[in-house]
């Protein structure tokens, strides 16, 4: 597969073109269902800057040369397990590459939300954090500014409890728990993680079983230069 996009990237899907190819012979309805699932688990989890454009598309083209699954009519058919897994792996890889190639990006960031009241709430919290300019600039500066992360989660409109129930990790470092910085929190270890190119932020809300993972990047002066120096 191939994909294009580096700015104005936000789920649904935003200035992004992706083309996936297979030689499988499968009915249109089956391919459509499998592609929609793959997109929900990949392209619908990315954001570079939170801006959406009118130009976006994911296309799955099948040549039909391989008739191995020619009689399959159900997207949940067990015989499609390998194909489904491969399709999702390619979609996730392309989606993450778009984020890594984001305008001015220097860090790839995984925002992992657990313990939300449902998956929809987890998604909303994840994207509120992922698209917060204050969070993204802190990441650009290698600053483990946990207050900005919690503030973004709190204003998401998708949480019912307060920080007293939350647990925040930056990398493997437990930063915040039970309404206060964790007694064993070591800012140097958190800062060392933030200085890397692969950042993981995990927030458990303690409300339920909902979970969601979003992928984003930092917000640097490079992004500002790119978008200030040209007129679209």
Query: Which positions are annotated as active-site residues?
Result: 15
- The DSSP-derived string for 141-201 is TT---HHHHHHHHHTSS---S-GGG-EEEETTEEEEETTEE-TT--HHHHHHHHTSSEEEE
Bridge partners, 167 (sequence order): 177, 204
Rounded distance, CA 47 to CA 83, Å? 27
Q: How far apart are CA 173 and CA 150, in angstroms?
A: 15
**Residues facing residue 17 across a β-bridge:** 4, 57
């Amino acid at each position: 597969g191939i994909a294009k996009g580096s700015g104005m990237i936000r789920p649904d899907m935003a200035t992004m073109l992706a083309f996936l190819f297979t030689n499988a012979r499968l009915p249109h309805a089956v391919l459509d269902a499998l592609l929609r699932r793959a997109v929900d688990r990949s392209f619908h989890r990315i954001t570079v800057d939170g801006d959406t454009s009118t130009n976006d598309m994911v296309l799955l083209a099948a040549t039909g040369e391989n008739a191995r699954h020619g009689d399959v009519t159900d997207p949940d058919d067990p015989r499609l397990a390998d194909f489904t897994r491969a399709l999702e792996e390619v979609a996730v890889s392309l989606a993450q590459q778009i984020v890594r190639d984001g305008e001015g990006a220097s860090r790839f960031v995984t925002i992992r939300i657990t313990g939300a009241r449902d998956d929809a709430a987890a998604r909303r919290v994840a994207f509120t954090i992922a698209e917060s300019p204050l969070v993204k600039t802190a990441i650009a500066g290698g600053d483990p500014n946990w207050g900005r992360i919690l503030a973004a989660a709190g204003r998401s409109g998708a949480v019912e409890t307060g920080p007293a129930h939350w647990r925040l990790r930056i990398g493997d470092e437990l930063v915040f728990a039970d309404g206060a910085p964790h007694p064993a929190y070591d800012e140097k270890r958190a800062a060392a993680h933030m200085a890397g190119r692969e950042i993981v932020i995990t927030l458990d809300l303690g409300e339920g079983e909902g979970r969601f993972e979003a992928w984003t990047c930092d917000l640097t002066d490079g992004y500002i230069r790119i978008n200030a120096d040209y007129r679209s």
